[in-house]
Structures are given as structure tokens and as C-alpha cells.
Chains A and B, each alone.
Chain A
Amino acid sequence: MENILNFITENQQIIYIVILMVFVGIEVIGRVPSVLHTPLMSGANAIHGVVVIGAIIIMGQAEASNYLALGLGFLAVILGTLNVVGGFVVTDRMLEMFKKKK
């Protein structure tokens, strides 16, 4: 019990962020028309590519002799970047088609 309470106190900032972001996430897309479901999903997909930052930190901290961290980290950076770049470009291509007609 004490462990859990300690954990909550130590990480209270993070827990606050998590709770608030859950509500923000639900609130901001609450009234999306069904036409935009796919682009919105694709855009959100690109945003969770932010995980690449974790991969970059791993890479940057890996020592030259730690081949496991270097190898897996390198792979993680590639995959994360694919997620970010591919995600935003695909979303942009979808949305290009919604442009206003004269």
C-alpha cells in the first residue's frame, strides 16, 4: 500500500498530465463529422510517432560497445521516423482532396 502511495506522490505531475490529456483528447475530437474519420485517424497515427523521441534518446545515450542498444535503437529510430513522416504525408495527401473549390 505504502509503495503505491509513494509511487503516486513521486509521479503526481505525470498522473495529472495523463488524466487531463484523456479529457482533452476526448473533448477535441468530440464532434468530428464521419467524412473526416479516416484523415483524423491518420493524423492521430502520425502524432503517436512522437515515440521516436524515445528511440533518439536511446541512440544518443548508447555506448559505442553496446551493440544491442545501438542496433535496436537504430531500428527503432527508423521505424519511428517512418511512422511520423509517412503518417503526416499520407494525412496531407488525404486532406489535399478536401481543398475548397472556387
Chain B
Amino acid sequence: MELNILTVCYLIASVTFILGLKMLSNPASARKGNLLAAAGMTIAILGTIFLYESDGKRLGNYVWIFGGLLIGGIIGTLAAKKIKMTAMPEMVSMFNGMGGACAALISIVEFNHLSHEMEISGITTGHTGKVLIIVLGLIIGSVSFAGSMIAWGKLNGKVKDFSFTGQNILNLLILAVALSAGAYLVYDPTQHFLLYGILALALVYGVFFVMPIGGADMPVVISLLNSFTGVAAACGGFLYDNKVMLTGGILVGAAGTLLTILMCKAMNRSLQNVLIGSFGGSKTAGAAGSTSQGLYKEISLADTAMLMSYANKVMIVPGYGLAVAQAQHVCHELEKILEEKGVEVKYAIHPVAGRMPGHMNVLLAESDVSYEKLLEMENANDEFKTCDVVLILGANDVVNPAAKNDPASPIYGMPILEVEFAKNVIVNKRSMKPGYAGIENDLFFQPKTSMLFGDAKKVLQDICAEVKMV
């Protein structure tokens, strides 16, 4: 009876996962979808704790289980609540790594369990399927864990890009050795020391896999590792014949893979191009193309305020700089002051502005900027011609014309916001340093562009004050 109730619990949870993902892909229902999936997860977890039976035995060690749930729950909630909006992406990466580690640990424990059984019974055959799943779970989970930790370090600036010639070949070699060791273990499960060798190799592979990929591509990598963890979780489902782990894992594995491809498409790059790292390879070519640096001119705060106050239409292009400076509220304030003066203000959002797709939408929505004012890239590009002033706040690569006209540039082919069609372009940056892709931006040296140096929040506050005085 109780096992049947558990089956129903798992069924409900699986349905909430599917519905939750479905609702998450629509802005109106996204939040409800997340809560729905969370509710399903709670049902599945509680059901497992109280109703699960194997060979007629119920689960024990309640103190340990609830202790673990409590510790994980409290740390998780605090970390997720305390984290700044700008650091969300690395938080997701961190949590993803935890899931991968969890899957890898399950594999280790289950393998030890299995070798213990084999020792007692003396029968070493007939476990091919189980060992295969254990090895797969271990490799995928460890790669996901190590990779996510590196991605986390890269996003918060603790880990720098690192690559050497022949790294791709070495990576493939490591993976090949890990897989062959895994295959041998499947063939002869008594060689249990191999398991730890595989673990070590998979961890190293995870590190080397993410190391050479540029920080700007981390969202794609995290999304890919996310689907890896999904598959690792599904391996666990296979192991325990647990349908909800299986559905949840495979669902995320499939959806995550598609999402990864969609993200690449938003940047007009292929997944292969991201992973093999065109950034590392063609650095010299990119640098050579941008030696034609000219002089740039600066503009004062007062002039900026004047220019904007008398404009008919102002387009704001937010980038990572806005996020770092936490300038979204004062940005909205500037928008209101300008609108009172009869200036039309809109925002042009590049799909990969910031560190994550949708990063800017989230930030601006936080400060109550109306949804209709946010233009997607294509619509914005139609409107730049009619703009008097474009104000770029800490964005760089997404407005770099090299993506359109310099085939040697590493970002060549990425669709950009064509701000140069506006009458005036004002660029707010902290310094002349290149953006995340590490390349120069010719836009800054064009005659209609003026530079306004400083922290985005400080600068916007000052502009607000000046505009009020005009």
C-alpha cells in the first residue's frame, strides 16, 4: 500500500517537472512553473524518506537524513537569498556542481556496496549493466562537478583563462583513458582500485575542459554542464529503478542540451566553436586587426545632460558595467526625469548582454522599468536611425562593429546592436580597457562617439542632477 502511494508521489513529481519546465519557458507563467516543480520535488523527497521500501525494509538513519537536508537547505537558502543579482550566474554554476558531486558520490558508494556483495557471494559476473551505469554516473557527475567549479571561479574572476598548445588533444586523451578504464571495470568489476583512477581522470578532464574557454562563453558551458548533471542524475534513477530520478534527469539532460544550442544560436556561434575555443586560438589575429586605434574624445557630464535633455529620442544600451555598478535603479530614475522633459527613452537589449542571456532584463525589471520599453536586438536595430543619443552603459563587445566588418575578429559573425546609426553615441565605461572578449572596439574611436568615464552608478547620478538643472 505504502509503496503504491510512493509510486503516485513519483508520478505527481514527474508531471510537475514537465509542466514546470513548460511554464518556465513563458514569461507570464515562469514563476508559477518554478514553484510547481519545487512542490513536486518536495513531494518526491518526503515520499522517499517515509514510504520507500527495499526488500521489505524501510529506510533508517532518519537523524542523518534530516540533518543533511537541514544543513543543505539552510546553506542553500541563505546563499541563494544573499547573493547579489550580478553574481546569479556563478551561483547557478555552483549549485550545478553540487548536483554533479552528489551523483558521483552515489556511484562511489554503490560500487563499494556492489564489490562487498561480490566478495561475500563470490559471484563476479552478471553485473555488467549495473557497473556500466555506475561508471557512467561517476564520470559524468565528476566532469560536471569539476567543470562547474572552474566555471564558477571564472565568473567571479578567481580563475583565469589558461590554455596551451595541444590541450585539446591532451583532453581527448584523458577522456579516452578514463573511458577505457571504465570499460575495463565493466568487464572485470573486481578491479575496484580502477574506480578511483576513473574519478581522478574525470575530475582532471572537467578542469581542462572548461579552462581554455573564455569567460564570456561561460553561460553556454554552464548550460551544457547542467545537462550533464541531468544525465548523471538519470544514471542514479537507473541504478535504483527510480522513475522520478530518471524522468527528472533525462528531462533536464534533453532540455539542457537544446537550451545550450539555443544560447549558442543567440550569439550566432556553433557549440563546437565555443567549446574548441576560437577565443584562445585566434587571439593574435584579433589583435592585429585592431591596431588602427585612433584618438577618442571625452565628453563632460554637463554636455551629456544637455545633449540628452534636448533629444527627441534616447536609447540606453545596458551591459555588464551597469550590473556591476548596481546602477539599474538610478538608470530608471534618469529615464523618468527625461520622460518628464518629453524625451522618449527606450532600452536596447542584446541577447547576451551581461554575463548571461536575459541578465539585463532581470536587472532592469528589478528597478521597475516597464517591460514594453525593453527592445530586443532586431527591433532596437530598426530604431537606432531615429535616435538622437545612444547611451551605452558598460557594454562593449555587443556594440563592437568588428563583429560585422572584421573577419579576423574572434567575435566576427555575432549579431550586434548597430548603435553607430544614431546621431550621437555616448559610451560610459570605467576605462579604455577592452571588454570580456579581450579585443579593442573601433566604435570608441569613431567621430560621433564620445567617452564618459566613471562608475555607471556615479555617472548616472550626476547626469540626473545635471538634467534636473537644465
A residues neighboring B (CB under 8 Å): 3, 7, 10-11, 14, 17-18, 21-26, 28-62, 64, 68-70, 72-101
Residue pair B106, A41 in contact (C-beta under 8 Å) = no
Would you call B27 an interface residue if the criterion is a C-beta within 8 Å of the partner chain's C-beta atoms?
yes
CB-based nearest A residue for B377: A34
Of B164-172, B354-362, B448-456, which stretch is located at the interface? B354-362
What separation, in Å, do the CA atoms of A48 and B79 have in the docked complex? 19
**With contacts A24-B251, A38-B89, A43-B21 known, is A83 near B102, CB below 8 A?**
yes
The 8 Å CB contact of A53, one of B31, B73, B245, B359, is B245
**With contacts A44-B255, A85-B77 known, is A77 near B250, CB below 8 A?**
no
What separation, in Å, do the CA atoms of A29 and B222 have in the docked complex? 17
Would you call B389 an interface residue if the criterion is a C-beta within 8 Å of the partner chain's C-beta atoms?
no
Residue pair A32, B233 in contact (C-beta under 8 Å) = no
Residue pair A75, B105 in contact (C-beta under 8 Å) = yes
Shortest A50–chain B CB gap in Å is: 4
**With contacts A22-B250, A54-B245 known, is A32 near B64, CB below 8 A?**
no
The 8 Å CB contact of B76, one of A25, A56, A64, A81, is A81
Residue pair B68, A77 in contact (C-beta under 8 Å) = yes
Residue pair B99, A51 in contact (C-beta under 8 Å) = yes
Residue pair A40, B236 in contact (C-beta under 8 Å) = no
Q: Which residues of B contact A43 (CB under 8 A)?
A: 20-21, 24, 30, 33-34, 37
**With contacts A37-B356, A83-B96 known, is A28 near B76, CB below 8 A?**
no
Residue pair A59, B68 in contact (C-beta under 8 Å) = yes
The 8 Å CB contact of A60, one of B49, B257, B359, is B49
Would you call B80 an interface residue if the criterion is a C-beta within 8 Å of the partner chain's C-beta atoms?
yes
Would you call B387 an interface residue if the criterion is a C-beta within 8 Å of the partner chain's C-beta atoms?
no
CB-based nearest B residue for A21: B250
B residues neighboring A (CB under 8 Å): 13, 17-18, 20-22, 24-28, 30-31, 33-35, 37-38, 41, 44-45, 48-49, 52, 54, 57-62, 64-65, 67-69, 71-73, 75-77, 79-81, 83, 88-89, 91-92, 94-96, 98-99, 101-103, 105-106, 108-110, 112-113, 128-129, 219, 222-223, 226-227, 229-230, 232-234, 236-259, 262-263, 266, 349, 351, 356-359, 361-363, 365-366, 368, 370-371, 376
Identify which of A47, A70, A84 gathers the most chain B CB atoms within 10 Å of its CB. A47
Q: Which residues of B contact A31 (CB under 8 A)?
A: 25
Residue pair A61, B68 in contact (C-beta under 8 Å) = no
Residue pair A60, B44 in contact (C-beta under 8 Å) = no
Q: Which residues of B contact A82 (CB under 8 A)?
A: 72, 75-76, 79, 95, 98
Residue pair B92, A42 in contact (C-beta under 8 Å) = yes
Residue pair A55, B95 in contact (C-beta under 8 Å) = no
Shortest B46–chain A CB gap in Å is: 10
**With contacts A57-B240, A90-B83 known, is A41 near B38, CB below 8 A?**
no
- Known interface pairs A59-B61, A69-B113, A84-B41; 20 further A-B residue pairs with C-beta atoms within 8 A, sorted by A's residue number: A7-B128, A22-B253, A26-B254, A28-B25, A29-B25, A29-B255, A44-B252, A45-B229, A47-B230, A51-B236, A51-B249, A53-B245, A54-B237, A60-B49, A73-B109, A87-B80, A90-B80, A93-B80, A97-B362, A99-B31
Residue pair B128, A69 in contact (C-beta under 8 Å) = no
What separation, in Å, do the CA atoms of A28 and B73 have in the docked complex? 29
Residue pair A89, B109 in contact (C-beta under 8 Å) = no
Shortest B103–chain A CB gap in Å is: 5
- Interface CB pairs A-B, < 8 A, 16: A18-B246, A26-B255, A32-B26, A34-B376, A35-B27, A47-B251, A49-B102, A54-B239, A55-B106, A70-B61, A75-B68, A78-B75, A84-B41, A85-B72, A89-B77, A95-B31
Residue pair A28, B21 in contact (C-beta under 8 Å) = yes
**With contacts A44-B256, A47-B41, A52-B45 known, is A7 near B129, CB below 8 A?**
yes
Q: Which residues of A contact B96 (CB under 8 A)?
A: 45, 48, 83
What separation, in Å, do the CA atoms of A40 and B365 have in the docked complex? 17
Identify which of A23, A28, A31, A58 gathers the most chain B CB atoms within 10 Å of its CB. A28
